[in-house]
Structure 1
Amino acid sequence: MLFVRRGADRAEIYSLAFSSTAQWLAVSSDKGTVHVYSLKINPGSPGIERSQSISEPNHAVTTPASSLSFFKGVLPKYFSSEWSVAQFRLIEGSQYIVAFGHQKNTVVILGLDGSFYRCQFDPVIGGEMTQLEYHNFLKPEAAF
């Protein structure tokens, strides 16, 4: 079983999306963030196990886990949780829906406030996603 973690406090999850290869999971929450987690499917058993590397040759990435993960089985599951590979910060309080884009390593984010974001994450370095595009369909841009 995989436990994912996006922070220390509870969050309400608004949207979950799996990439077409089932290698990535994107999650949006009421904290105004979108997180991308690395998943590794083990074909020999049903379920998901903790990812250690990307299946592309010569590209190793370790997904961050709690530094106290050696207490796994002794302390609560918090300490052995899987942390996100990449994050994108949005306006807290609005609801967002996430999906994976057609381009590799891209995430599309749609807000109920009319916002549209297209972001890209680096599967090797991780960290903050890069915003590639933004539009707001409810607030037309001012005419010049």
Structure 2
Amino acid sequence: MGSGMGIGVIWLVVALLDKIHVFSFPTPTQRLFSLETRKNDRGLCEVTSLASAERQMLVFPGHKLGSVQLVDLSCTEISMSSAPIWIAAHKSELGCLALNQQGTRLATASNKGTLIRVWDTASKHLLVELRRGSDPATVYCINFSRDSDYICCSSDKGTVHIFAIKNTNLNKRMALPSGGILGKYGESQWALTNFTVPPECACICAFGSNSSIIALCLDGTFHKYVFNSEGICNREAFDVYLDVCDDDDDLQ
């Protein structure tokens, strides 16, 4: 389930296994339209969250493997008979989706979790391909910074990665000649910087103020790091926001 806002309009979006329902909310609450999707076990869908956004977008898995369907919610009437607008994002099932606050950028990861791709929602062109890692991983979360200069992502590998997407020259690259036996892998853009959180523990991450990243983990830990364009990343705060105890522990 998600929600988004347009000028004078609030949408409530509900993702089911193979359908997306869009409602007006809160008054009057009524279903505006429904769309069929590919089997969507993860309930993937994203909607533009900013009322003054440049583009009011809804994105979700398309019918084709690895594709993302895009719906412009600013249209006064959605024609169900019109051809769907979609991006062939990956060759395998989608694992994670994210929109920036302006609705102009879309980030995608497959269920392999090795690559993150960033797309222009207007032209549907690929802007940059980023390498999270070489081993398959479950990507829990992707988020854009408010100015869309950076994205962050978390996975079950226990690492939060930060990538530059405006000035991609800031991202790290392998110190190898282009091409060669590693091909495109040797030319990959790697994270500007990263930090670790408890591995194999579900974690969400997002940008805070003053170039900070906040990560909240299912084990009850809170992590806050600050970073700069040179790739230096330092911990600013850590806390345990939940008391996680064994069932056998005595209650006081």
Choose from 125, 136, 139 the match for 2:243: 139
What letter is aligned with 2:241? F
Q: Report how many residues are paired.
A: 118
* Alpha-carbon contact 1:105-1:123 (below 8 Å) kept: no
* Alpha-carbon contact 1:114-1:137 (below 8 Å) kept: yes
**Any gaps of 5 or more consecutive residues in structure 2?**
1-125, 245-252
What letter is aligned with 1:115? T
Choose from 205, 218, 223 the match for 1:117: 223
Choose from 35, 39, 51 the match for 2:165: 39
| SS of structure 2 residue aligned to 1:79 | helix
**CA RMSD of the aligned region, Å?**
2.1
Tell me by how many angstroms 1:6 deviates. 2.7
Q: Please state if 1:108 is matched with 2:198.
A: no
Q: Counting strand residues as a fraction of each chain, which structure ranks higher?
A: 2
Tell me by how many angstroms 1:82 deviates. 1.1
Choose from 186, 195, 198 the match for 1:91: 198
Q: Please state if 1:51 is matched with 2:168.
A: yes
Q: Please state if 1:78 is matched with 2:182.
A: no
Percent of aligned pairs sharing the same letter: 31
CA distance in 1, matches of 2:220, 2:182: 42
Q: Comparing both chains, which one has the higher relative contact order based on Cα–Cα distances under 8 Å and sequence gaps of 6 or more?
A: 1
**Any gaps of 5 or more consecutive residues in structure 1?**
41-49, 53-61
Choose from 121, 140, 148 the match for 1:14: 140
TM-score under structure 2 length normalisation = 0.43
Tell me by how many angstroms 1:97 deviates. 0.1
| SS of structure 1 residue aligned to 2:185 | helix
Tell me by how many angstroms 1:76 deviates. 4.5
What letter is aligned with 1:98? C
> In 2 relative to 1, CA 69–15 (structure 1 residues): closer, same or farther, beyond 3 Å?
farther
TM-score under structure 1 length normalisation = 0.73
